[in-house]
Amino acid sequence: MTAPLRLGLDLRWLQRAWLKAPTGALGGMGIFAQNLVRGLAEAEEPPRLVALVDHGPVPEPLTTLVAAIPGSEIRACGLSGLWPRMDRRRKYAHLMHLIETESGFGMARALRGLDVLHMLDHTPPPRAARCPTVVTLHEFYDWVRQGWAVYRALCRRMTRADEVVGVSAVVAEDFAAHHALGRTRISHVHNGIDLSRFEPEAGRGDGERLRGLGLPARYLLHAGVMTHRKNPEGIFGAMGRLRAEGLDPPPLVSAGAYGAVPGALATIRGIAAANGVADRLIVLEKGASPDEMASLYRGAVGLVFPSHTEGFGLPAVEALACGTPCVVSNRSALPEVTGDLGIL
């Protein structure tokens, strides 16, 4: 009998997401990682999972998730968590990634015995890896083209992976063109969603959940923290113009873990006020659980998601699966993933 594949999976992003948002508002990359582990657990012949995490606390939901795969283990790796004072400075995060991937410091021991290593956090495979490697790209950010040298250095080193997978054709093609990477080493696989949760028929708990959140009967929805790339200026600008024309828009509910992004909440409140619609903004600043998100989608007049850039756009797909209209931008991956169903 052949021994199960020993798969190393970089779950550091998921670990941080759960620590910042205990409600389960994990964001697109966190949801991807969580669903990937669940899918592996349901496989006919699941691998032996080696979950790679930062030094420091491991959230209980992550421990439970990994334990669902027989023979799995959790290994601390890298530099994050070794120097808490440095970790609090977000600008050092990518520099630490670069140091650990190039030097092997904090990585070599954690990678021993792996048959395959899969990196999920826009992080190149470490030079210390002695097995085939895969990198999943969720976005190809503009700051990689124009920003700090350390970001560009990380991006270049992703090309040493045996396979690079983009979550959309846009991401894969953009990355391949920028780095002259042959199509034999890059592919795209669209994200999936939980169709048992995100479906049109109202669940028995929808009304109770929405009442518990204190929401009005009619509302628009934005899912996730509304950072600059989510286009808050465009959203609140449109609402302000509607109000000026005497067409008062429904309130906008923004559900996201705002505590994880310092300054984001104050910024969107300022933008809403500048456009005269501060009273039309409702913020669920701790985010929402997956079941609450499904109820929010089904109860909304529509999802407003006109992002400047999206590597995939998971909220748009979840909303459409719930039968909710989506207003999206005609940029990046959103036209690809919404097709004829998105209102561009």
State residue 282's pLDDT score. 98
Question: Average model confidence (pLDDT) for the chain?
Answer: 89
Per residue in 273-316, pLDDT (tens digit) is 999 999 999 999 999 999 999 999 999 999 999 999 999 999 99
C-alpha span between 166 and 213 (Å, rounded):
35
pLDDT above 80 for 207: yes
pTM (two decimals)? 0.89
User: What's the whole-number mean pLDDT along residues 263-281?
Assistant: 97
State residue 139's pLDDT score. 84
pLDDT above 70 for 267: yes
Q: What are the E-state strand segments in the chain?
A: 6-10, 48-53, 73-76, 116-119, 133-137, 163-166, 186-188, 220-223, 252-255, 281-284, 302-305, 326-328, 342-343
C-alpha span between 49 and 70 (Å, rounded):
8
State residue 88's pLDDT score. 46
State residue 26's pLDDT score. 83
Q: What angle do CA 249, 26, 129 make, to 5 degrees?
A: 140
**Sheet strands side by side (includes 252-255):** 281-284, 252-255, 220-223, 302-305, 326-328, 342-343
Residue with tokens 């996201």: 256
pLDDT above 80 for 89: no
State residue 147's pLDDT score. 58
C-alpha span between 95 and 103 (Å, rounded):
12
Per residue in 119-155, pLDDT (tens digit) is 997 788 999 999 999 999 998 765 555 556 767 777 7
User: What's the whole-number mean pLDDT along residues 69-87?
Assistant: 82
Instruction: Select from 133, 120, 124 the least CA-distant residue to 28.
Output: 120
State residue 142's pLDDT score. 57
In order of 56, 107, 109, 117, 150, the CA distances from 99 in angstroms are 19, 10, 16, 18, 10
User: What's the whole-number mean pLDDT along residues 187-202?
Assistant: 92
User: What's the whole-number mean pLDDT along residues 70-89?
Assistant: 78
pLDDT above 80 for 83: no
DSSP state of 318: H
**More confident call, 206 vs 103:** 206
Determine contact, residues 118/8, Cβ cutoff 8 Å: yes
Percentage of the chain exceeding pLDDT 90: 67
In this structure, of 36-40, 54-58, 171-175, the range with the lowest mean pLDDT score is: 171-175
User: What's the whole-number mean pLDDT along residues 220-239?
Assistant: 96
pLDDT above 50 for 12: yes
State residue 143's pLDDT score. 52
Amino acid at 274: A
Gyration radius of the chain over CA positions: 21
State residue 141's pLDDT score. 62
**More confident call, 184 vs 172:** 172
Question: What are the structural domains, with CATH classification, of the chain?
Answer: 6-188 (3.40.50), 206-343 (3.40.50.2000)
